Amino acid sequence: MEEVLKLVENYGLSVVLLMGALYVLYKFTFFSINEVKVGFEKRHEALHNQMIEVREKLNIILEFIKKNDK
């Protein structure tokens, strides 16, 4: 706490508040980017699993069609 008071005394309140605001903006930006990345990865994995199921069903249909053509 003493460090903050010394900064205010040396640089003025507006500069210290500006530094604090920039730090919070920096942390929020990287937190947001990380959350979007994690959410995208989860959604991508879910869609990938759905496509595997669709591919398996299409293979079954293709085999059925090949069997009936003979």
Amino acid at 9: E
Query: Residues 16, 8: contact at Cβ < 8 Å?
Result: yes
Give the tokens for residue 28.
């929020």
Could you tell me the pLDDT band of residue 19, with boundaries at 50, 70 and 90? confident
Model-level pTM?
0.54
**What stretch of H or E contains 60?**
helix 13-69
Long-range contacts of residues 8-14, Cβ cutoff 8 Å, at least 24 apart:
none
User: How many domains does the chain divide into?
Assistant: 1
Query: Residue 50's domain spans which residues?
Result: 2-69
Instruction: Please tell me the distance from the alpha carbon of residue 31 to that of residue 29, in angstroms, as a whole number.
Output: 5
What per-residue confidence (pLDDT) applies to 34? Answer: 93
The whole-number pLDDT of residue 59 equals: 96
Give residue-wise pLDDT tens across range 48-70: 999 999 999 999 999 999 998 86
Question: In this structure, what token pair is assigned to residue 14?
Answer: 């507006």
Split at pLDDT 50, 70, 90, the class of 2 is confident
Q: Alpha-carbon Rg of the chain, whole angstroms?
A: 28
